[in-house]
Structure 1
Amino acid sequence: MIRKVITLLIAGFVALGAAACDTQGTSSGGSGGSGGSDKASASGQSDAASGQSGIQGKVKGSKTVATVNGEDIKGIDYNGMLQQLQTQAQQQSQQQGQQAAPMKGAALKQVKKQAIKALVSNQLILQDADKRGIEPSKDKVQKQIDATKKQYKTKKKLDAALKSSNMTMKQFRSRTTDQVQVQAYEKKVIGPIHVSDAQVKKYYQQYAAQAKAQQAQQAQQGQQAQSSQVPPLKKVKPQIKQQLQQQKQQQELSKIVKKLKAKANVKVFV
């Protein structure tokens, strides 16, 4: 199946969504955080969440890893982003038939750079949203919180997920509020993203050709090729369209962040 786009620029939030994945065997993505400014908490998890004790390059949770126009980004957020990026890298290695190994050297250096870039970008967007008077809808915040709660059958499981993420419900609400604010910002500043049928078809053809080439390569190497067939375009068209919309949205956000960063006072300490 065609994979969902994993946003690294504006990472949303992992928080309870990721915890639910671990306990229920599903998949999710995003970020969280605590400590320092609430706006700095839009990405990352606690050191206790998702096995962060095994993260390469992590720092003390209370450490200020960067400041954006005077607002701190804490180590707890940084560690959460590192965990997310390293997990993605390991999953990609496994999908390619390679053995996932602890990250080090140039690869680790690059991931650290990506983590800081994502967190700083997130902070710049939230600050610009405040300046523009773009406020998160309280109804949408509550709706999203309720949707996350539904992933747990009992309050006990929800409390356990919060505890494993070293997070209070107040902090979770703050992170969700930030995420909804980013969504409102994207809607107002970027607006609707148009994807044509021709673009969808081109992407599908590229994906199908890539899948076929990968199976042929696996056969040449004596590996057992995956038997899954490429689904018909009609079936995956909505997924492809959504993915292309997300990609275009990220391109527009990248342009905005570049302009904001040029005028911002950003200091990095890791």
Structure 2
Amino acid sequence: MKNYIIGFLVFLFAGILVGCGDDNEKEIEESSEQKVEITEAEKVDETDIVAVVNGDDIKGETYNLVYSQLKLHAGAFEEEVDNNEIKQATMESLIDRQLLLQQAKEEGIEITEEVVNSEFETIKSENKEALETLLEQYQITENGFKDQLKFELTLNEFLAKTIEVTVTDEEVEEQYEKAKEGNDSIPEFEEIKDQLKKQLLQQKTDEALQAKIDKVKEKSEIEEKI
């Protein structure tokens, strides 16, 4: 599984849908052909409390949503998926997710339902077929999608307000030299330097965010119920 759980769940599917072009539509279509089964036994009752984080309950509805994302995504890269590993990663993700939401609230960040609904309608009007395919693939409702959308919008504001990272030209060149080792087909540096810089910025952002969440986690009251 990914090292940075929060970074992994920077809205797995909204990132595909926003500004969706032909290539992304093809990607969704191909990913929808994955034959990863999520049985009823793997799910939990939507009303059950799966964890309590600093007094806030996390319910089965959110667990099922995150579990399906992680399992289907893992299935795209692994021949065999370990359900216990997915369950563990789901719990880690849910706890980190709740801690982030709590920190965002302390920073005065609150995404209203009006904003979420407006964003959802924009996505739906611009990418209706892709949205329907994705909802079916991840076995979620429109309300579940909105819940994740609200999380992503909160996360984006939290990152903008609390995380600041920079990447130097030297770091980009070093990354290029590493990527070039044993890879004769890599494009020239000037062709991909902007892409490499963006990747490094994302990596540093993920690391800084996870470090912030881990620090908060050390002094938090967390109880896993399953």
Q: Tell me the CA shift for residue 184 of structure 1.
A: 0.7
Q: Given the superposition, is the C-alpha separation of residues 260 and 237 from structure 1 closer, same or farther in structure 2, using an over 3 Å criterion?
A: same
What residue identity is the alignment partner of 1:13?
Answer: F
What residue identity is the alignment partner of 1:146?
Answer: T
Residue 9 of structure 1 aligns with which residue? 6
Q: What TM-score do you get using the length of structure 2 for normalisation?
A: 0.74
Q: Given the superposition, is the C-alpha separation of residues 152 and 129 from structure 1 closer, same or farther in structure 2, using an over 3 Å criterion?
A: same
- Is residue 60 of structure 1 aligned with residue 44 of structure 2? yes
Q: Tell me the CA shift for residue 126 of structure 1.
A: 0.7
What residue identity is the alignment partner of 2:196?
Answer: I
* Structure 2 unmatched runs, 5+: none
Once the two structures are superposed, the pairs formed by residues 102-121 of structure 1 within 5 Å of their partners are 103-104=81-82, 108-121=83-96
- Is residue 184 of structure 1 aligned with residue 182 of structure 2? no
What residue identity is the alignment partner of 2:38?
Answer: G
What residue identity is the alignment partner of 2:193?
Answer: K
Is the Cα–Cα contact under 8 Å of residues 53 and 99 in structure 2 kept in the other structure? yes
Q: What TM-score do you get using the length of structure 1 for normalisation?
A: 0.63
Which region of structure 1 is more displaced relative to structure 2, 74-83 or 10-19?
10-19
Residue 107 of structure 2 aligns with which residue? 132
Higher RCO by CA contacts (8 Å cutoff, separation 6 or greater): 2
Q: Tell me the CA shift for residue 88 of structure 1.
A: 4.2
Alpha-carbon separation, structure 1, partners of 2:73 and 2:153: 24
Is the Cα–Cα contact under 8 Å of residues 51 and 225 in structure 2 kept in the other structure? yes
Aligned length: 213
Residue 145 of structure 2 aligns with which residue? 172
Alpha-carbon separation, structure 1, partners of 2:96 and 2:190: 36
Offset from partner CA, 1:15-36 (integer Å, 9 cap, x none): 5667989x932259xxxxxxxx
Is the Cα–Cα contact under 8 Å of residues 68 and 120 in structure 1 kept in the other structure? yes
Alpha-carbon separation, structure 2, partners of 1:15 and 1:124: 22
Is the Cα–Cα contact under 8 Å of residues 64 and 73 in structure 1 kept in the other structure? yes
Once the two structures are superposed, the pairs formed by residues 22-37 of structure 1 within 5 Å of their partners are 24-27=25-28
SS at match of 2:181: helix
Residue 209 of structure 2 aligns with which residue? 253
Q: Tell me the CA shift for residue 143 of structure 1.
A: 4.8
Q: Given the superposition, is the C-alpha separation of residues 258 and 132 from structure 1 closer, same or farther in structure 2, using an over 3 Å criterion?
A: same
What residue identity is the alignment partner of 2:156?
Answer: Q
Q: 1:237 aligns with which of 193, 203, 206?
A: 193
Alpha-carbon separation, structure 2, partners of 1:166 and 1:87: 12
Q: Tell me the CA shift for residue 265 of structure 1.
A: 1.5
The percentage of aligned residue pairs carrying the same residue is 23
Q: Tell me the CA shift for residue 251 of structure 1.
A: 1.4
SS at match of 1:54: coil
Q: 1:194 aligns with which of 157, 166, 169?
A: 166
What residue identity is the alignment partner of 2:53?
Answer: V
Structure number with larger C-alpha Rg? 1
* Structure 1 unmatched runs, 5+: 29-49, 94-99, 213-228
Is the Cα–Cα contact under 8 Å of residues 59 and 79 in structure 1 kept in the other structure? yes
Q: Given the superposition, is the C-alpha separation of residues 69 and 92 from structure 1 closer, same or farther in structure 2, using an over 3 Å criterion?
A: same
